[in-house]
Chain A
Amino acid sequence: MSIDLKTIKHISKLSRISVDEKKAEKLAGDLNSIFDFIEKLNELKTDNVEPLTSVAETTLKLRSDEVKSKNLRDQVIKNSPKENEDYFVVPKVIE
């Protein structure tokens, strides 16, 4: 298996991380050596194995649907990178 530069560019787009040519080449090398190592799993036959999605063998607890916290707007906005009053500010999206 080999991850080429085109695949790296595709993953970079999906993960919203920009990569230039140099970084893409480095990543391709790293990912290929990591996936060589991961391929070991193909030695195992797993057709009839149930996937493990959670090690905690409990069912989720139900709770009543009540608001417990007070109005947290100021706290939520506090760490926003742009100065603003009531909203998160982002670059203009609609022309």
Chain B
Amino acid sequence: MSDITKQSLSELAENIKSKKLSSSEVTKAFVERSEKSKELNTYITEDYANALNKSKKFDEKPNLDLKLPGIPIAVKDLFCTRDLRTTAGSKILNNFVPTYESTVTQNIWNEGAILMGKLNCDEFAMGSSNETSFFGNVQNPIDKNLVPGGSSGGSSSAVAAQLTPITIGTDTGGSIRQPASFTGTVGLKPTYGSCSRYGIVAFASSLDQAGPMAQNVKDCALLQEVISTYDEKDSTSIDFKRNEYSKELTKDIKGKKIGIPKEYRVDGMPKEIEDLWKKGIEYAKDCGAEIIDISLPHTNYALPTYYIVAPAEASSNLARYDGVKYGFRAEGENLIDMYEKTRSEGFGAEVQRRIMIGTYVLSSGYYDAYYLKAQKVRKLIKNDFDEAYKKVDAILTPSTPSSAFKIGEKTNDPVSMYLNDIFTVPVNLAGLPGISIPAGHDAKGYPLGLQIIGKAFDEQNILNIAYAMEEKINFKNNITDWWIK
């Protein structure tokens, strides 16, 4: 079967279960395609030989009752994987080999999946284009020299290019949904507390969530079902009744009330995004949903709030990288000098910038003016959503204010880079689930995404809406394999 890598996760799992395909055949196909795709620079660490061995072992004694039977999967390099290097895209963790496994990846292996390697990402997940990675830019398979989005850029590129049937990313301010939107793929950021943060390299702990990135909504639902578990090793993990998302998936969304927030019509929004949104509203109506205008009055304050809260938490989380216990160390004349040189040489420019912002807003004399202020505005943003959800079941918005841009186009202006996350950041601040689905193309033929935001713990509902709309939209990704010689 030459078209193995073109199959969706659900098809592959079905074909392995019915013994039409073996895990070895599937793993070999994805490894071969990954090897031919080095130009995309999606992988930081490849683990192909081990993956092939594990697939052979699986075939010798296959457990076909598992949800991901012998399926090869590459994951974002922010998840700690036992005995396989985990870098977070940073020089400071270049040589770090975890002695433990993240809960989310463990859940995936428990269902029979096989690790293929670790995927590129922005350094410590701080970026919107994958350009802050110590391991270089990632190419978007849609077009040459186009960013794949970020921070889960290696993940989005690998799924779109069919180097892995599915993957997991992390999302602190849009890092799953924006790259999904840029590559014509589906990405879900679950409710805060749905997926354990144990073993994920921390960026901003009150915002970070892991989630699936997939070729379609059904695959996304299946992986969410696997990764979302209550975990006592994460004190913010929430013990709620989780659905069997893929089994309960339905296209019947008749009568669902979908809100359209007027504040998301931002100044200078390109017409093609406005048009995409209008089309999305029509698709939702075609599915039987009821459209209701709503207001989220503090939307414009979400990004400034985020750029206080996230760097503040990051500066605290990243204090652990001191060159003493693990990771890169630069020698110094004394202990303090060693710390300062290690962190100056070990962190890239964007990470240093954010640590500086975070340190400043938490420092004596500025805490009330910045950090406390931001926490109060965060409350107002969450109140907006609480108020809206008295009237609607879900909210429909564009995923991003533009399509993917060229490598290098926004690197000199941090604020213009930050604006990429204008539609995704409020969702993290309020701890809600959000999914991006591909919904159309711009004039250049680049994909554009729509975002569906749900109530807390209501992943099933937004997956259902996405599933129904996906059929109406009937999106086709235009990938020409330009990078394969």
Contacts and interface: CB of A to CB of B under 8 A. Distances in A.
B357 A34 contact: yes
Interface string B84-124: 00000000000111011000000000000000000000000
A67 interface: no
B353 interface: yes
A31 B376 contact: no
B301 interface: yes
7 contacts: A15-B315, A33-B413, A39-B304, A40-B300, A40-B304, A56-B192, A56-B238
A52 B382 contact: yes
Contacts of B338: 90-91
A44 B347 contact: no
Nearest to B343: A17
Interface string B315-357: 1000100111111110111111111110110010000110111
A46 to B, nearest CB: 4
Interface in A40-63: 40-44, 46, 49-56, 58, 60-61, 63
A10 to B, nearest CB: 8
Given A18-B340, A54-B236, A11 B333 contact: no
Contact of A30 (B206, B304, B414): B414
B339 A52 contact: no
Contacts of A38: 304, 307-308, 370
B347 A17 contact: yes
**Residue of B304, B347, B415 most packed against chain A (CB within 10 A):** B304
Contacts of B145: none
Contacts of A6: none
Interface string A56-89: 1010110100000000100110111110000010
Given A15-B343, A34-B357, A80-B326, 10 more contacts: A14-B359, A34-B414, A37-B418, A38-B304, A44-B301, A49-B377, A56-B192, A61-B235, A81-B324, A91-B337
B241 to A, nearest CB: 14
Contacts of A93: 334-335
Interface string B289-304: 0000000001011011
Contacts of A75: 99-100
Contacts of B322: 16
Contacts of B347: 17
A17 B352 contact: yes
A17 B307 contact: no
A18 B483 CA distance: 40
Contacts of B415: 33-34, 37
Interface residues of B, number: 72
A30 B360 CA distance: 13
A60 B372 CA distance: 22
A79 B321 CA distance: 12
Given A17-B356, A56-B192, A79 B431 contact: no
A90 to B, nearest CB: 6
B413 to A, nearest CB: 8
B308 A31 contact: no
B15 interface: no
Contacts of B376: 46, 49-52
A27 interface: yes
Per CB-CB distance, the 10 closest pairs between chain A and chain B, nearest first, are: A55-B431, A51-B375, A79-B326, A75-B99, A52-B379, A18-B340, A81-B329, A46-B376, A49-B376, A15-B359
B357 A16 contact: no
Interface in B444-460: 456
B360 A11 contact: yes
A88 B324 contact: yes
B380 interface: yes
A90 B304 contact: no
Contacts of B100: 75
B323 to A, nearest CB: 6
Contacts of A44: 298, 301, 377, 380
A19 B304 contact: no
B236 A56 contact: yes
Nearest to A12: B356
Contacts of A76: 99, 325
B326 A81 contact: yes
A47 to B, nearest CB: 9
Nearest to A13: B340
A54 B456 CA distance: 13
Given A44-B380, A63-B232, A15 B304 contact: no
A55 B375 contact: no
Interface string B358-370: 0110010000001
B400 interface: no
A50 B378 CA distance: 10
B377 A16 contact: no
A40 B301 contact: yes
A77 B379 CA distance: 42
Given A37-B307, A49-B380, A81-B323, A31 B329 contact: no
